[in-house]
Chains A and B, each alone.
Chain A
């Protein structure tokens, strides 16, 4: 604790020292020190066989303050990894802004980044409710500062404020849950839940916690800040926020889940159903987006849905006493948390590079970028395949674990569990299919074909350090995809030890499929290489020509005639019209316009949660309050009159004897 405080102060000072380059390097070094230190601690906890809590006794007045169990350790590793890659990326990404933004603002940005990093680690370490809420708040504030980096762009500050307000609503819920569960105790801590859950009904407090943490994570109907905040934030911030910060909502839910003792079945079922809706809604909205960062933000919601499915299966599995369902569910959820932090940050970094070059977030204006920036394009493709849950990358492994959990549930159930598992399976399948639709769309339209609009300057490949930041997540993505059996054993012991599901862990039953998946992934790779080699050797004596794209006899094909993202999803958007309405702006021509000039045209999709649940009530409040504002005349005489009326009212009420 003391070390962390010293660290914070030192780093804050370092960030503020004059000289941009020097302070940047020093910030990097100190951040690296913290990363090394906390990762060592985390790995140390993870490899211990028993689930010993790692207690650091610090000062007397705040006794067991920091405790690091395997769950915290796992999250610390995820946080460190993504923050490091985000930091590396930011050094390149922020270069163009050096001219337009004051130096202090950039330093404040890095200060916020450091504080965000530290507070995220502390969130996973604190069990004491008061301190937990404190660092939770620091996390919110520092990420708010990170989000509003481009404060001069219209809408950024508004998006930041929406985020800030919603996070505080969430914090209110967490605080409420802490207070309810700690009735009769001196302190607010997570450990009070142990006792509280034994003696009381579990689901109300869980529900309140779930709403509080779900706001951070972005579960359905709590997600509305996400699609606003991510497009507004710089790409490395989006990567860190989407990659790890929203996962701390998941951490909170998991932490509360570890204490659950009763009501497991209803809680499990509701989490599964809500997560299925979250996943479906996220991906259904994502497909309709043409703003690349908004699209990725909706995909975060989808992936939170998949993680939630895993958690729900874990809870429900313990409710019906099925070990494989439970362990595979939790393991799938944890692994998907890790995986999502990897490929989502990768996707955000790649998208950020593209945005930095073409200066637009609209995918319809991109195109052909794979020729200008091949590394970024391939990084995005790997991320896209991984996030679609396709082999041979890591997204498949976590979805596979959840499928194992589901099919074991289906194969061994009574009727009612079966229905739950069946619905979950169906939604996961549809989510997978829709994710493919979405990412084929966005990859193709962004990187393939010809440029869909004229670029002002020729796009160039990102700087080396940004490429390094992209390479960092690619390595584990490929590793987990090809060698899943390495990670599966610690993962199972993690989920078994933290969640008390272990009678005997079904390690063998899990490892065998993973070994086969590994064999298949490797042979897939070998076969692809073999085919390419054969083609090369066959082609040595043949002609390889290049010609224009087939135009059905029409020879002067223009880049405007390419298939667009909107037309790619046309049939789909007709299909989902009952759920998600899409609209477009009207174009009016006046009669005397013989040669119509340029017009603005835009299409939009309606997030009905946002419009019905957030905008409608808040607009209502605003209009009501505006009506009340007629009293606010601005004249002193009127205010004196109000005071007089008030005094008379009190006098009258006392006279009658009401007060």
Chain B
């Protein structure tokens, strides 16, 4: 339960932090860190405009998208706090719930019959397909490393081994990249772009408004929080006292948000057709980690 509450708290601040970091680096005064949440709150209370072409899929999809990610969050450990649900092989369910949310997102984009939204949907489907191996290779490596089969135990690295912290950093790097790709941030996509032709996530929700748009935004915040929590679990040993863990957890989250803000401020986005190479590179780094784990476990 603590884990879920922490994830929800994190989801309130991460995206605000990113915006704040970007404004600091570009020398603007910028909004407060709760501004994205306030925007979402406003959206929740607004009316909805549906496209004349769209039908029941558009009306159902936002609920499924938000629900599946929220349910996936139930299985995520946070800085040594156990998740609500944990069983052998739950990482498969975790990954496939994300895939379900992606599936609904894509078909909802097509429902309005738009000439733009399919573009984002096409990219989302392809990149989602390409990034999944990275996550699974990482999980396979961790299964070998820890000898466990549930998400809460494989992402809690044993603190006593010296190299665990190094692995933690590499895993954080991989998960960080997966986050950027899953959430379509720079360098894969720029959510602040104003051109439909180059967007991924934003273009898929062009015709979504009001409550539904709020649900999509909440999903995006939750995704940040989920991946941020996974990172915190790999970095913070579960053996530390609760108080220290909480402090470290929030420190990691702030750093995570700041790092994404930093990347978005100083890195330019790729050309669309370079993205596939970038995503495959992440998979390769993940495989490299897998091989290193094989070495440390003397499996060769």
A residues with a Cβ closer than 8 A to B are 367-368, 370-371, 374, 381, 385, 388-391, 396, 399-400, 403-404, 407-408, 410-411, 413-415, 418, 422, 425-426, 429-430, 432-434, 436-437, 439-441, 443-445, 448-450, 509, 512-513, 516-517, 519-520, 523-524, 527-528, 531-532, 535, 538-539, 542-552, 557, 559, 561-564, 567-572, 574-575
Contact assessment for A426 and B133 in the assembled complex, using a CB-CB cutoff below 8 Å? yes
Contact assessment for A542 and B46 in the assembled complex, using a CB-CB cutoff below 8 Å? yes
A562-B96 contact in complex given A410-B140, A437-B126, A570-B122, C-beta closer than 8 Å: no
Contact with A along B23-64 (1 / 0, CB 8 A): 000000000000000000000111111111111110010111
B211 at the interface (CB under 8 A from A): yes
A390-B149 contact in complex given A519-B85, A520-B74, C-beta closer than 8 Å: no
The residues of A that contact B273 with a CB separation of less than 8 Å are: 571, 574
The residue on A at minimum CB distance from B140 is A410
Please measure, in the bound complex, the distance between the C-alpha atom of A557 and the C-alpha atom of B114, giving whole angstroms.
8
Contact assessment for B129 and A430 in the assembled complex, using a CB-CB cutoff below 8 Å? yes
Contact assessment for A403 and B110 in the assembled complex, using a CB-CB cutoff below 8 Å? no
The residues of B that contact A368 with a CB separation of less than 8 Å are: 53, 113
Please measure, in the bound complex, the distance between the C-alpha atom of A418 and the C-alpha atom of B56, giving whole angstroms.
46
A549-B53 contact in complex given A404-B89, A410-B143, A538-B44, C-beta closer than 8 Å: yes
Contact assessment for B87 and A411 in the assembled complex, using a CB-CB cutoff below 8 Å? no
List 13 A-B residue pairs with CB atoms under 8 Å apart, sorted by A's residue number. Answer: A391-B93, A432-B132, A449-B53, A528-B63, A531-B63, A531-B66, A539-B47, A542-B45, A548-B51, A549-B207, A561-B115, A562-B115, A575-B276
Contact assessment for A426 and B114 in the assembled complex, using a CB-CB cutoff below 8 Å? no
Contact of A568 among B45, B90, B122 (CB under 8 A): B122
B292 at the interface (CB under 8 A from A): no
Please measure, in the bound complex, the distance between the C-alpha atom of A368 and the C-alpha atom of B55, giving whole angstroms.
9
Contact assessment for B113 and A429 in the assembled complex, using a CB-CB cutoff below 8 Å? no
A430-B132 contact in complex given A531-B215, A570-B122, C-beta closer than 8 Å: yes
Contact assessment for B211 and A411 in the assembled complex, using a CB-CB cutoff below 8 Å? no
**Minimal beta-carbon separation of A580 from chain B (angstroms):** 15
A562-B118 contact in complex given A432-B132, A524-B71, C-beta closer than 8 Å: yes
**Minimal beta-carbon separation of B273 from chain A (angstroms):** 7
A432-B99 contact in complex given A407-B143, A425-B140, C-beta closer than 8 Å: yes
Please measure, in the bound complex, the distance between the C-alpha atom of A531 and the C-alpha atom of B57, giving whole angstroms.
15
Contact assessment for A390 and B96 in the assembled complex, using a CB-CB cutoff below 8 Å? yes
Contact assessment for B128 and A531 in the assembled complex, using a CB-CB cutoff below 8 Å? no
Please measure, in the bound complex, the distance between the C-alpha atom of A559 and the C-alpha atom of B148, giving whole angstroms.
52
Contact of A433 among B45, B87, B132 (CB under 8 A): B132
The residues of B that contact A448 with a CB separation of less than 8 Å are: 55, 57, 107, 110-111, 113
Contact assessment for A538 and B50 in the assembled complex, using a CB-CB cutoff below 8 Å? no
The residues of A that contact B60 with a CB separation of less than 8 Å are: 528, 532
Contact assessment for A433 and B71 in the assembled complex, using a CB-CB cutoff below 8 Å? no
**Minimal beta-carbon separation of A562 from chain B (angstroms):** 5
A527-B44 contact in complex given A418-B299, A545-B49, C-beta closer than 8 Å: no
Contact assessment for A449 and B99 in the assembled complex, using a CB-CB cutoff below 8 Å? no
Please measure, in the bound complex, the distance between the C-alpha atom of A413 and the C-alpha atom of B106, giving whole angstroms.
38
Please measure, in the bound complex, the distance between the C-alpha atom of A425 and the C-alpha atom of B95, giving whole angstroms.
14
Please measure, in the bound complex, the distance between the C-alpha atom of A390 and the C-alpha atom of B64, giving whole angstroms.
13
Contact of B92 among A400, A430, A574 (CB under 8 A): A400
**Minimal beta-carbon separation of A461 from chain B (angstroms):** 14
The residue on A at minimum CB distance from B139 is A407
A403-B92 contact in complex given A415-B300, A524-B71, A539-B48, C-beta closer than 8 Å: yes
The residues of A that contact B207 with a CB separation of less than 8 Å are: 549-550
The residue on B at minimum CB distance from A429 is B136
* Interface set, chain B 117-168, CB cutoff 8 A to A: 117-119, 121-123, 125-126, 128-130, 132-133, 136-137, 139-140, 143-144, 147-149
Please measure, in the bound complex, the distance between the C-alpha atom of A451 and the C-alpha atom of B139, giving whole angstroms.
43
Contact assessment for A425 and B136 in the assembled complex, using a CB-CB cutoff below 8 Å? yes
Contact assessment for B136 and A572 in the assembled complex, using a CB-CB cutoff below 8 Å? no
The residue on B at minimum CB distance from A430 is B133
B262 at the interface (CB under 8 A from A): no
B294 at the interface (CB under 8 A from A): yes
Contact assessment for B122 and A567 in the assembled complex, using a CB-CB cutoff below 8 Å? yes
B191 at the interface (CB under 8 A from A): no
Contact assessment for B143 and A411 in the assembled complex, using a CB-CB cutoff below 8 Å? yes
Please measure, in the bound complex, the distance between the C-alpha atom of A527 and the C-alpha atom of B63, giving whole angstroms.
8
**Minimal beta-carbon separation of A468 from chain B (angstroms):** 22
A547-B215 contact in complex given A415-B294, A449-B113, A516-B87, C-beta closer than 8 Å: no
